[in-house]
Amino acid sequence: MRRVRFRDPAGAVRTGEWTDDGIEFGGETYDPDAVDVLPPSEPSKVVCIGRNYAKHAEERDEEVPDRPLLFLKPPNAVAGHGDEIRLPAGKDRIEHEAELAVVIGEQCRNVPESEAMAVVAGYTCMNDVSNRDDQSREQNWVRGKAFDGAAPLGPVVAPPESVPEDASIELRVNGETRQDSSLEHLIFSVPELIAEITTYMTLEPGDVVATGTPAGVGPLTDGDRVEVEVEGVGTLAHTAVQD
């Protein structure tokens, strides 16, 4: 079942099932375009992984790390399917990064790699929107990665078994394919990432682990429509807006 959070026409927040017929909840079926689709979880933090695809490290002219490269996005960065993402003003390079995102299902700490999938609620799509102007000037990437709306998520949480190990991941801007790869090219797997992260911090229900982006990152400008598609999950769509 692909779970989706949405606000129904009466304003109530619901969790339903996204089917071929629409969003089903309480015996009713809603048109996804007629309701407000919300981020699929309310994370206390988004733990992101840098350079987890070798070809992306190569295009950034950087080394592949010998352990997962971790950084954080706070709750203010989270946005949903269909949202307008306001890009920071006065910047020359704001770029897209398509990612498989892992939604955590229970509070966990010191999780062995062999048990990591037991704490996974499911998978979703994410765009790690990145302000390269400031990312290149700072060590902790707060201006570069943590601005409002910098982590669009959604549209659903899909069960892990519905996402093949070699699932395709693609990003399109205004219908043009910019990123096209497969999860088989991940350097560090989902269980490896969860084991490493929970060595240092507690993950809470709803927290998100963004697993890194493949090669093909590129610029976003005012009015761009972005689609991130992960096989077995679906397509996250949003629009970029810049003053």
Average pLDDT over residues 114-125: 98
Task: Tell me the residue type at 74.
Answer: P
Confidence band for 150, pLDDT divided at 50, 70 and 90: very high
User: E strands, the chain, where?
Assistant: 3-7, 13-19, 22-25, 28-30, 36-37, 46-50, 69-73, 78-79, 84-86, 94-96, 98-104, 120-127, 130-131, 151-158, 168-173, 176-182, 208-210, 218-219, 225-230, 234-241
Banded model confidence at residue 111, pLDDT cuts 50, 70, 90: very high
Nearest residue to 123 via CA among 1, 15, 24: 1
Task: Decide if 122 contacts 147 (C-beta within 8 A).
Answer: no
Predicted TM-score (pTM) of the model is 0.97
| Identical fold between 1-38 and 39-241 | no
* Cα 147 to Cα 153: distance, rounded to the nearest angstrom: 15
The ranges assigned to domains in the chain are 1-38, 39-241
Asked if residue 220 lies in contact with residue 127, where contact means CB atoms within 8 angstroms, the answer is: no
Q: 1-38, what's its fold?
A: SH3 type barrels. (2.30.30)
- Answer whether residue 25 shows pLDDT above 90: yes
CATH topology of domain 39-241: Fumarylacetoacetate hydrolase; domain 2 (3.90.850)
Residues 208-217: tens digit of each pLDDT: 999 999 999 9
For residue 243, pLDDT over 90 is answered with no
**Reported confidence tier of residue 161, pLDDT bands at 50, 70, 90:** very high
What's the pLDDT tens digit per position in 58-92? 999 999 999 999 999 999 999 999 999 999 999 99
